[in-house]
Amino acid sequence: MSTQPHATRADFIDNDAPQFEATGGDWDRITEEIRQLGEERIIVNMGPQHPSTHGVLRLMIEMDGEHVTEARAGIGYLHTGIEKNMEYRTFVQGVTYCTRMDYLASIFQETAYCLAVEKLLGITGDIPERANILRVLMMELQRVGSHLVCLGTGGNELGATTVMTAAFTGREEVLRLFEMASGLRMNNAYIRPGGVAQDVPEGFVAAAREGLVKMLKYTREIENLSLGNPIFKMRTIGIGHLNLAGAMALGITGPILRSAGLPYDVRKSDPYCGYETYDFDVPVAEGADSYDRVVLRFEEIRQSIRICEQALDRLEQTEGQPVMVEDKKIAWPAQLAIGQDGQGNSLEHIRHIMGSSMEALIHHFKLVTEGFKVPAGQVFQTVEHPRGELGVHLVSDGGTRPYRVHFRDPSFNNLQATSIMCEGGQVADVVVAVASIDPVMGGVDR
Beta-carbon contacts of 172 under 8 Å, excluding residues fewer than 6 positions away, are none
Which residues are 71's β-sheet partners?
A: 61
Q: Which uninterrupted H or E stretch holds 377?
A: strand 377-385
User: Residue 401 falls within a domain, yes or no?
Assistant: yes
Beta-carbon contacts of 164 under 8 Å, excluding residues fewer than 6 positions away, are 152, 153, 155, 156
Of 370, 397, 431, the one marking the end of a domain is 370
In tens, the pLDDT along 221-240 reads 999 988 888 888 888 888 88
Beta-carbon contacts of 49 under 8 Å, excluding residues fewer than 6 positions away, are 55
Is the per-residue pLDDT at 402 higher than 70?
yes
Whether 216 and 268 map to the same domain: the answer is yes
Task: Tell me: cis bond preceding 322? Omega within 30 of 0 counts.
Answer: no
Whether 147 and 294 map to the same domain: the answer is yes
Whether 262 and 286 map to the same domain: the answer is yes
Question: DSSP letter at 64?
Answer: E
Whether 183 and 205 map to the same domain: the answer is yes
Whether 240 and 338 map to the same domain: the answer is no
> How far is Cα 397 from Cα 395, in angstroms, rounded to an integer?
7
Q: Return the pLDDT at 232.
A: 86
Q: Give residue 345's domain range.
A: 333-370
Maximum alpha-carbon separation in the chain: 84
Q: Return the pLDDT at 70.
A: 86
Whether 170 and 134 map to the same domain: the answer is yes
Q: Where are the alpha helices (DSSP H) in 318-346?
A: none
User: Residue 75 falls within a domain, yes or no?
Assistant: no
Q: How confident is the model at residue 15 (pLDDT cuts 50, 70, 90)?
A: low
In tens, the pLDDT along 164-214 reads 999 999 999 999 999 998 888 898 889 999 999 888 988 999 999 999 999
In tens, the pLDDT along 274-283 reads 999 999 999 9
Q: Return the pLDDT at 406.
A: 94
Whether 366 and 249 map to the same domain: the answer is no
User: Residue 33 falls within a domain, yes or no?
Assistant: no
Count the domains in the chain.
Answer: 2
